[in-house]
Homo-oligomer: A and B are copies of this chain.
């Protein structure tokens, strides 16, 4: 773990927002950071070069998907995920836990791990903490995530408690398992919507020596107000000198709120997924490109945007591409949405640096219609 370290550069005086840098063997990650998602060894529609040019310093990839396809034999022969997919910067891999619970069928959870059937072909598999670490070691991600049990929403207190206890026990086993050279593991706090469980989970997980901590089990269907309340409560329980990662969050309003609550890292499929469905994010809110009202709109998605899409294409053209089922449509909207989301993070970082984060946050939320 030698090289990995987090430098906290500045804290906002009026909120918990903080500016930092995560140093990894594959490069720096300026925080607060957004991680585009490359589920199947590709950020959908994009080349890695394009993702890097947009300013992404780290991407997330999914252990469950890559374990099933192409499988670890191929990833090992490719000498890891970076080489396989041609991405040189850091990669964070999730543990597979969340995906096993949400995608696979016939899953059976024991204290050892999870038996499940592949969503692709129904084949039987088992992943526990040791297997998750082994897969992530083969992937060679820079940041691996501890194997956890992500409570759904809603979730009974009893189930949330059982999940929490398993998550702690699995976290200990993950730390003991072998990792790839230079790879670090982050712990994950669970506890569903119950403050006392969040407190206990945070105490137990931060009691283990992880170089970073994630808050899991949020953004799983609960109202945003509940998420913000739990963030308000949970984030202060995490150590200040280590990065904090809010899993699965990526809408622009949530990014500002998350940072205000002291979060340093985010990931979400939202910008890329809605792009493929024809929706663009702008500083004023969403633009549903397919809408008939854009048929003769020859202005760009966003007038002042300097992304490749906005510099060269009109809403009318983008609408045409989606109507005609052309792949260039999802491509161009993905470029724009990732540019937008990464620009939001850049503005967040600059505003913390300039001491005006709260003012910028209010200004953003005032003009952004969710």
Q: Which residues of A contact B (CB under 8 A)?
A: 40-42, 44-47, 65, 69-70, 73-74, 77-78, 84-86, 295-296, 298, 308, 312-314, 316-317, 319-321, 323-324, 326-328, 330-332
**A74/B327 in contact, CB under 8 A:** no
Instruction: Choose among A308, A326, A328, A332 the residue with the greatest number of B CB atoms under 10 Å from its CB.
Output: A328
Once the chains are docked, how many angstroms separate the CA of A331 from the CA of B323?
Answer: 19
Question: Which residues on the B side are within 8 Å of A330 (C-beta)?
Answer: 327
Interface contact B331-A41, CB-CB below 8 Å: no
Contact (A73, B331) CB under 8 Å given A317-B41, A324-B40: no
* Residue of B whose beta carbon sits closest to that of A316: B74
Quickly give the copy total for this chain.
Answer: 2
Question: B40–A70 contact, CB under 8 A?
Answer: no
The 9 closest A-B pairs by CB, nearest first: A70-B320, A40-B324, A86-B312, A45-B327, A42-B328, A42-B326, A327-B327, A84-B317, A77-B296
- A85 to B, closest residue via Cβ: B317
Q: Compute how far the CA of A115 lies from the CA of B327 in the bound complex, rounded to whole angstroms.
A: 31
A119 to B327, CA, bound (A): 20
What residue in chain B is nearest A86 (Cβ atoms)?
A: B312
Closest B residue by C-beta to A312: B86
Other-chain residue from B69, B295, B331 in contact with A327 (beta carbon distance below 8 A): B331
Between A and B, 9 residue pairs with Cβ closer than 8 Å are: A40-B320, A44-B326, A44-B328, A46-B328, A47-B332, A70-B323, A84-B314, A86-B317, A331-B331
Contact in complex: B314, A47 (CB < 8 Å): no
Please measure, in the bound complex, the distance between the C-alpha atom of A73 and the C-alpha atom of B73, giving whole angstroms: 55
Taking a contact as CB atoms under 8 Å apart, the answer to whether A331 and B44 are in contact is no
Q: Which of B73, B295, B326 contacts A296 (CB 8 A)?
A: B73
Q: Report yes or no: A47 in contact with B328, Cβ–Cβ below 8 A.
A: yes
**A329: nearest residue on chain B (CB-CB)?**
B42
- B contact residues around A47 at 8 Å (CB): 308, 328, 331-332
